[in-house]
Structure 1
Amino acid sequence: MQQVLRNSQRVSLAAGPLATSKGSSRGVVRVHASADTDFASYKPNVAAFFPGQGAQTVGMAKELVAEVPAAKDMFNKASDILGYDLLQLCTEGPKDRLDSTEISQPAIYVASLAAVEKLRATEGQGQVGANASTKVLKLESIDDLWDSPPGCSVCWVHIIFEDGLRLVKLRGESMQAAANAAASGMVSVIGLDSGKVAELCKAASAEVGKENAVRIANYLCPGNYAVSGSKEGCDAVERLGKPNYKARMTVRLAVAGAFHTDFMQPAVEKLQAALAQTEVKKPRIPVISNVDAQPHSDPETIKSILARQVTSPVLWENTLMTLFEKGLTRSYEIGPGKVVAGITKRINKEHNITNIFA
């Protein structure tokens, strides 16, 4: 998940939350370089949130491309790059293929960017688009929303659309391959605070051994955390969660493997190599990474964090609470589904959020 934010003079994009090695969503690991502090004092007012993997559904983007020609053009360009008909997969399925990591990540990336085109068409007061010669996305005003594109669970606002799509494609394929290499998974734990979930992970890991350990991978909102690790570790979490730790429920997630853990390390190495060959522009807006819940401006730091994101916990709860503390008053969820809006309301019931559907 990602976010786009705006202050009185400029806009900013954010992407999810993070945890320390001890699994606490409160202790944030700072990774700023000396040349990476341009946005240290950002003050968000309006945000755009973009969903991550799991938001995809068969039928998404069908109405969008019928209503917005620019969205259809984006899917056509994406299909040329990917080598398959992405729009057909989004609108017709089959579901099992759309749900695969290697397909769902590009699908959500493109569908969310296409939804930005809808926002531009319906609420824009300025033209926001790609420079015809450089193809670098420019940012103008869209109502009160400073607008910027998403990219699955990582943000590519400072990377051109085509390069971003190629990176997301590689990321999805590499994560799928890493998942296929070892039996692993994820479990949603409902009804416990993060401290109790961390204790549950510790107990489950003690049962199955260090090489099969589990940890919190997604800090979504109070009472809703996703645990990730080996199949044996996930089994132990389900076995211990309700009787021993009084979880309301545990739910095995329909994902390929242990995302946001070291099980995905092979994908990191491939992504690092690709990022080294990709031009990353210095952002015009603050970019908040889900690796440390902080804004970044230095291109080399951004490359490092984009790679680290694959194995780092997602601290969405931490990021949202920080944004609210800094003054965020209004937001949009742009892309498929309503997952982000639901999570946001769990943290701040009074928050004003509008859905722009893909």
Structure 2
Amino acid sequence: MALALLFSGQGAQKVGMGRSLYEQSAAARARFDEADSILGWSLTRTCFEGPEEELTQTKVCQPALYVHGLALLAALEEQGKLSATAAGASQPSPRYALGLSLGEITAYAAAGVFDFATGLRLVAERGRLMQHACEQTVGSMAAILGESREAVAVLCKEFDIEAANFNAPGQIIVSGEREKVAAAVAASKAAGKKVIPLNVAGAYHSRLMESARAAFADVLREVEFSRPAFTVFTNTTGRAISDPEELRAALAAQVVSSVLWEDCMRSAVAAGASEFWELGPGGVLAGLARRTEKSWAVKSFSEFDDLAK
């Protein structure tokens, strides 16, 4: 089996995430406890108890999803379901990793580009900077369903908005100034297209996040990046990258760039991935995978009971 790990993006979080892992896996508990120590506040309590309004904040949910993903990885290794290295292992070991938006940082950490603590500090700062950018701008997002990339490109040009996510065939997210997105939604609905406004704090993966990108790029310059231990795919390119400087540049650019998630998934399959394991709450990425290609083998792991799959 050529295994690819998938890590969740913002929006997958839910109150209670990780509680059973914490209670039943020493390895997962160590991740949550280390995160609380590094952050200086109880991410663990917010994950387990909420309130939902607090967990949903960009500066909270981004580190929460990062920690949850790597806690699942640690628990799978502890349970003997997954090997950190391929040498002499009877259980599967990851050969590929990819993450949606903030999940790309989780994928980098899983592949050893930087350690857990470094990645946590990065994702916490990314979340803080993006929340600040949201508070300084008036943006929104919407899902365009059943349309081609070309049709959405025309819509974006007409209303001066941007394509934020290419999640799966017929599922594209647009992003931009609230009034412009609202006008695009209204025009699309009038034309009989299926469009869903999203309940988000701002215009992620658009030029409205430029202040966050610039500040995050400065933060990234202070961090040492290593070559990944296995193949990682980047949202901005939709392909595999291994050079540390290219990985650094991709993380910074991603804040204002389109997330080419469908491209990443197809590139992983083309590279040889034969099974995907989603490590995160809700099974969102498994759903996108099945929408892209029903024949792909995908498992979702969210809580301790899932480790028996």
Calculate the TM-score normalised by the size of structure 1: 0.78
How far 1:66 moved relative to its partner?
1.2
Conserved? CA contact 2:277–2:301, under 8 Å: yes
Structure 2 Cα separation of the partners of residues 168 and 337 of structure 1: 20
Q: Which of 152, 156, 171 is equivalent to 1:201?
A: 156
Distance 1:175 1:198, change over 3 A: same
- Give secondary structure in 2 for the equivalent of 1:346: helix
Q: Does residue 182 in structure 1 map to residue 128 in structure 2?
A: no
Letter in 2 for 1:160: D
1:281 corresponds in structure 2 to 226
Distance 1:277 1:125, change over 3 A: closer
Q: Which of 59, 72, 76 is equivalent to 2:33?
A: 76
Q: Percent identity?
A: 33
Letter in 2 for 1:67: Q
- Give secondary structure in 2 for the equivalent of 1:314: coil
2:92 corresponds in structure 1 to 144
1:33 corresponds in structure 2 to none
2:61 corresponds in structure 1 to 104
2:181 corresponds in structure 1 to 234
Aligned pairs (5 A) from 1:122-141: 122-124=79-81, 126=83, 128=84
Q: Does residue 314 in structure 1 map to residue 259 in structure 2?
A: yes
Greater Cα offset, 286-295 or 309-318: 286-295
Q: Does residue 222 in structure 1 map to residue 169 in structure 2?
A: yes
Greater Cα offset, 86-95 or 289-298: 289-298
Q: Does residue 92 in structure 1 map to residue 49 in structure 2?
A: yes
Calculate the TM-score normalised by the size of structure 2: 0.89
Residue deviations 1:299-353 (CA, integer Å, cap 9, x gap):
2221111111111100111122233334432111111110000000011112111
1:301 corresponds in structure 2 to 246
1:352 corresponds in structure 2 to 297
How far 1:149 moved relative to its partner?
9.3
Conserved? CA contact 1:214–1:233, under 8 Å: yes
- Give secondary structure in 1 for the equivalent of 2:79: helix
Conserved? CA contact 1:113–1:335, under 8 Å: no
| Structure 2: unaligned runs, 5 residues or longer | 304-309
Greater Cα offset, 164-173 or 191-200: 191-200
Conserved? CA contact 1:185–1:255, under 8 Å: yes
Superposed CA RMSD: 2.0
Conserved? CA contact 2:104–2:234, under 8 Å: no
Structure 1 Cα separation of the partners of residues 208 and 251 of structure 2: 17
How far 1:184 moved relative to its partner?
0.3
1:114 corresponds in structure 2 to 71
Q: Does residue 334 in structure 1 map to residue 289 in structure 2?
A: no
Distance 1:318 1:53, change over 3 A: same
As a proportion of its length, which structure holds more helix? Answer: 2
Residue deviations 1:133-176 (CA, integer Å, cap 9, x gap):
xxxxx776582231779663434330111111111111000000
How far 1:256 moved relative to its partner?
1.5
Residue deviations 1:83-141 (CA, integer Å, cap 9, x gap):
21111101110101100100010000000000112221334364x3xxxxxxxxx7765
- Give secondary structure in 2 for the equivalent of 1:278: coil
Structure 2 Cα separation of the partners of residues 329 and 52 of structure 1: 22
How far 1:291 moved relative to its partner?
0.9
Structure 2 Cα separation of the partners of residues 297 and 125 of structure 1: 23
Task: Choose between structure 1 and 2 for higher RCO, CA contacts under 8 A separated by at least 6 residues.
Answer: 1
Structure 2 Cα separation of the partners of residues 125 and 190 of structure 1: 36
Structure 2 Cα separation of the partners of residues 277 and 139 of structure 1: 31
Structure 1 Cα separation of the partners of residues 263 and 202 of structure 2: 24
Q: Structure 1: which 4+ aligned runs deviate by more than 6 Å?
A: 147-150
| Structure 1: unaligned runs, 5 residues or longer | 1-5, 7-44, 129-137, 206-212
